[in-house]
């Protein structure tokens, strides 16, 4: 496996955001870029972007939060509108950091957060890079992918286990399972079994009488604002993604007026980790306006 630069020392803060604690790590200098991580069990900001932070920090102020419900941030997400809840908290984080506007990079759940934030307040977003974002065409087939089912079932049944997490990561998250060291699985498993997280998972199937309304709200392709969203956007989607269907990339490119799409061969759901060199180069160039 190609060696990667280790993340540089980062300034860490636990900020009070509307009564909740949001953990944030920062490094670098330049235009601000928020890196928003995915929603798999045990995910966190710095770990998800461990192969990207050092390179991006050469030209940008890199800001890496743990989204609500993950890492060192407060547990709990509003299940009636999870994407909106995440977007609201990230917008409050911008306010807390004194930032009127920033670039956003989002993977999966984090990509859905970034896209919702851009739809609600496009003036707060400079450019976006989305990798296999959630919420794209999710109500048009109704049947979750095997990878998404594995993720949603992690806390159900007999509950979390290292075996369930390993299967999700090796079978569904990446294209080449041999690339993932045991240390990553061990670390994510430890973080995934926090009793507060198990009691209130940040990502779950909508249920109850308002479940259908929640599902509709979580599908961006049913939001008329998408066709008017002019934020320059680069979508990178692994052609072998088994969590969010690669067809979602074409849906976004077909609806958003200023969206570039790049399908990444022999790559699963974790583009920024599996194809770090390609991702770092394309991301830095796009954020700099070289598209």
Catalytic residues: 269
Residues 6+ apart with CB under 8 A from 113: 36, 67, 83, 86, 87, 90, 106
Q: How far is CA 252 from CA 37, 85, 137, 195, 259, in A?
A: 20, 22, 9, 37, 7
Contact call for residues 138 and 218 (beta carbons, < 8 A): yes
b/e string for 35-70 if b means 16 or more Cβ within 10 A? bbbbbbbbbbbbbbbbbbbbbbbeebbbbbbbbbbb
Question: Could you tell me which residues are beta bridge partners of residue 128?
Answer: 104, 233
Q: How far apart are the first and last CA of the chain?
A: 28
């Amino acid at each position: 496996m190609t060696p990667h630069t280790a993340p540089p020392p980062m300034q860490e803060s636990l900020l009070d955001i509307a009564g909740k604690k949001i953990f944030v790590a920062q490094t670098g200098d330049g235009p601000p870029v928020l890196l928003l991580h995915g929603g798999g069990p045990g995910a966190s900001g710095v770990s998800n972007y461990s192969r990207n932070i050092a390179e991006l920090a050469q030209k940008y102020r890199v800001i890496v939060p743990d989204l609500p419900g993950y890492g060192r941030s407060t547990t709990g997400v509003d299940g009636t509108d999870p994407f909106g809840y995440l977007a609201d908290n990230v917008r409050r984080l911008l306010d807390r950091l004194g930032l009127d506007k920033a670039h956003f990079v989002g993977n999966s759940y984090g990509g859905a957060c970034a896209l919702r934030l851009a739809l609600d307040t496009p003036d707060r977003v400079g450019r976006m890079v989305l990798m296999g974002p959630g919420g794209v065409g999710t109500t048009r087939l109704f049947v979750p992918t095997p990878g998404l089912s594995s993720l949603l079932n992690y806390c159900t049944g007999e509950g979390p286990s290292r075996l369930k997490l390993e299967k999700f990561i090796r079978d569904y998250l990446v294209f080449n399972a041999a690339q993932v060291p045991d240390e990553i699985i061990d670390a994510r498993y430890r973080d995934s079994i926090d009793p507060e997280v198990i009691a209130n998972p940040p990502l779950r199937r909508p249920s109850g009488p308002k479940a259908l309304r929640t599902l509709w709200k979580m599908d961006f392709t049913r939001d008329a604002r998408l066709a008017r969203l002019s934020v320059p956007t680069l979508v990178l989607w692994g052609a072998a993604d088994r969590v969010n269907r690669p067809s979602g990339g074409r849906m976004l490119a077909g609806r958003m007026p200023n969206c570039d799409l790049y399908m990444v061969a022999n790559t699963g759901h974790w583009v920024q980790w599996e194809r770090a060199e390609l991702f770092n180069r394309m991301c830095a160039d796009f954020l700099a306006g070289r598209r």
